[in-house]
Structure 1
Amino acid sequence: MANPRRISVVQLQNVAGEQAMPPLQISAPSRISSAMLFLKKPQAFPFLLSLFVLLTWVSLRFHHPRPGYVSPFATDSSSLMSSHSGSVDLAANLVRFSSVEFPSQFFKDKRGWLVDPVSAAKAAGLAEGARPCASVHVGEIRPGRMRGNHRHRGCNETFIFWGATTKFRLENPRLERGYAEVSIGVDEVAIAVSPSGIAHAIINIDSLRTTFFLGCLDSLISYNDSTTDFRVWKDL
């Protein structure tokens, strides 16, 4: 027969033990499991969509300068190519090469020359070029014609052009007239950078030859939206 006194002592000990027991805590793995279950439910879709939009906005905010941003261009001469590799024009954010004697940035053999304009612009110290190329335009500019005269307020652009006497204009508020303008000779290849918010134009001023060009942009653009300003300069 059980001892009644012993039973009561054991019961008191159990009650005391339950009262001393700390409240139940959810472990980290349990929290993760609960979060995973929530994310699998349809109710989680608006939350995930909002998070995706926020991350996209943050990425674009840091990747592209704000509208109206004026690039300081390259000012540190230590970051520029040496003179034997190309002639750099800081005001126009442009570097030019001879099509007769090519430096190391170009590969030349009996077939002709080859270059990566994005890498060459970076090596020259040209500021805020497109990297990588999300959209590429390649084409020609016939004598007396022009490409550009617009401003992209959502992407950076890197150009390479050659083949004819060509004028390149780049917006530069630091200059008195508000832009830099340089001419490229028939025997030269030019690589130029137009940062986001900076207007640019390429004009073929040759009477006979055609200018060939390639434009590399670091994001997709639509010329029908409001992120591009057209006819920036009325004299072109």
Structure 2
Amino acid sequence: MRVQTERRESMMANPRRIVYINSASSDNPFQIRPSYLASIMQFFQKPQSLPFLLSLFLFLTWISIRLQRVSQVPPNYIPRSTEGEWSAESDMKANLVRFSSGIPSQIAKDKRGWLLNPVSIALASGISGGAVTCASVHVGEIRPGRVRGNHRHHDTNETFVIWGATTKFRLENSKVDNGYAEVIIGAEEIAVAASPSGTAHALVNKDPIRTTFFIGCQDSIINYNGSRSEFNVWKDL
């Protein structure tokens, strides 16, 4: 009995301590172990990491540029170039026909987008004086505020497809008081226009953000260094 009493007193005097170890749970998928972090740091210190870092830098730069361009859009900007000034008569004077890029549209048959043949659709729409065949084709862009054309070819009929941004199209027309017809093409529109030989034409990107794209189809090869072309016809563009 005395031995049992001594053991009981000893256990009460020195209670067993329970130690809790606060270890990282392996069930937490968001916790990065120190070994993983060290491996990542070692990878970045190797020459093999340079292509990855360069790609990351280019991606972040692209994101930054896109955000800056969006922030530069004026608060009252409307990406629709006609702004209530459109009329069928003005398009007729400019020898132009326009289409919607959305569905339903004569040129957008399904969700893939629009598709057209500039020569056949110009003829079907009653646009005269354009190219009947494409002996020469030009595809290009016009950045905001820039001008293409503003010239006159005496030996070539041209047909244009214009899309992508708010764009001014000017065509020489002796039947109009100021000597030319001028229309605005909306950013959500596609225009097909024709410029007969000896008729000056110009395209001006009036959009503050977007880029104008165009295709020019000519029925003969243009010699830009020859005397059969005149440049800088209008001084106010």
TM-score range, shorter chain: 0.5 to 0.7
Query: CA, structure 1 residues 120+208, in 2 after alignment: closer, same or farther (shift >3 Å)?
Result: same
> 2:225 corresponds to which residue?
224
Deviation at 1:101, TM superposition (A): 3.2
Aligned counterparts, 1:1-236, within 5 A: 89-104=91-106, 106-236=107-237
SS of equivalent to 1:90: helix
Structure 1 runs of 4+ aligned residues shifted over 6 Å read none
The higher radius of gyration belongs to 2
Cα deviations across residues 81-110 of structure 1 (Å, max 9, x unaligned)? xxxxxx572100000011113433x24333
Cα deviations across residues 9-42 of structure 1 (Å, max 9, x unaligned)? xxxxxxxxxxxxxxxxxxxxxxxxxxxxxxxxxx
> What TM-score do you get using the length of structure 1 for normalisation?
0.61
**Distance in 2 separating the partners of 1:174 and 1:209:** 33
Query: CA, structure 1 residues 114+151, in 2 after alignment: closer, same or farther (shift >3 Å)?
Result: same
Cα deviations across residues 107-154 of structure 1 (Å, max 9, x unaligned)? 433322110011110001111110100000001000000100000000
**Distance in 1 separating the partners of 2:104 and 2:132:** 24
For structure 1, the residue ranges without an aligned partner over 5 or more in a row are 1-86
**Distance in 1 separating the partners of 2:137 and 2:108:** 21
**Distance in 2 separating the partners of 1:102 and 1:157:** 28
For structure 2, the residue ranges without an aligned partner over 5 or more in a row are 1-87
**Contact preservation (8 Å) 2:102, 2:113:** no
Query: CA, structure 1 residues 220+102, in 2 after alignment: closer, same or farther (shift >3 Å)?
Result: farther
* Paired amino acid for 1:194: S
> 2:78 corresponds to which residue?
none
* Paired amino acid for 2:151: H
**Distance in 2 separating the partners of 1:229 and 1:210:** 26
Aligned-pair Cα RMSD in Å: 1.5
**Distance in 1 separating the partners of 2:123 and 2:212:** 23
* Paired amino acid for 1:116: N
- Give percent identity, aligned residues only: 64
